[in-house]
Amino acid sequence: NTDKIIFSPEFLRESKALYDNLYPSRIIIGRSNDNDFLIKKSQEFALLLKQGALKEEIPTLFMESTDAEAVKLFANTYLALRVAFFNELDTYAEVKKLNTKSIVSGVCLDPRIGMHYNNPSFGYGGYCLPKDTLQLKANFDGVPQNLITAICNSNETRKKYIAESIYNFWKEKYNKEQPVIGVYRLTMKSNSDNFRSSAIQSVMKELKEKNTRIIIYEPTIKIDIFENYEVINDFSLFKNISDIIVANRYDISLD
């Protein structure tokens, strides 16, 4: 009985999967519109999802299964597009010595754009965006397109640019034969142990090919070697060994 359960805002923010189920933006059910049995069962299933949610008046759509799949692929690819766009904005600002934060703030005050999905990063990663963009690109076989391919290419360009920037900074400042690059956290969100396909891992791969030693600080990893990278979870030792620390996100301990 969800009426008797109270979730703190902090808990819901950190548990996105739970939040999405309790407050879904929409419910989309794929089915065959020519099958009365599936039409009936899809309506029952949608009702169950609504009963399990705390949000009321949830927009609900019923459509052919292939159309529902297309909704997911295009929605995630659009989100990937926003990530890629603001990453390219950030790259441009850095090369031209402009202020990324000021530009992003000015651009996003346009209500047609909005203040969401606008934070420059190492690139889009995780479980859904990389695979869904590539799946949509593959589905476009025989269909004219330029944008979907460009989104995928832009993400790879961003990760290569980040790796080049780190390495070139090292060479100009220290010129040591083999720098030790410490990677602070692989997880993509605070209070999470999810680092599946996080973009920082692609940056690490690029750096490793440049004859660098990569070490990882990631307390959620309980082994000494992860994907052929050394894991050092003694933070003091990690800091002392590292020549440069690449932070997947800021933490006060890095001060």
- Catalytic positions, please? 128
Please write the tens of the pLDDT for every residue from 147-187.
999 999 999 999 999 999 999 988 888 777 788 999 999 87
- pLDDT of the residue at 236: 94
Q: Taking the alpha carbons of 61, 152, 93, 195 in that order, is the dihedral positive or negative?
A: positive
- Tokens 């909005």 sit on residue: 114
Percent of the chain with pLDDT over 70: 91
pLDDT tens-digit map of 208-221: 998 899 999 998 88
Beta bridge partners of 182: 215, 245
Structure pTM?
0.86
User: Per-residue pLDDT tens for 79-114?
Assistant: 999 999 999 999 999 999 999 999 999 999 999 999
Give me the residue label for tokens 């004219």: 144
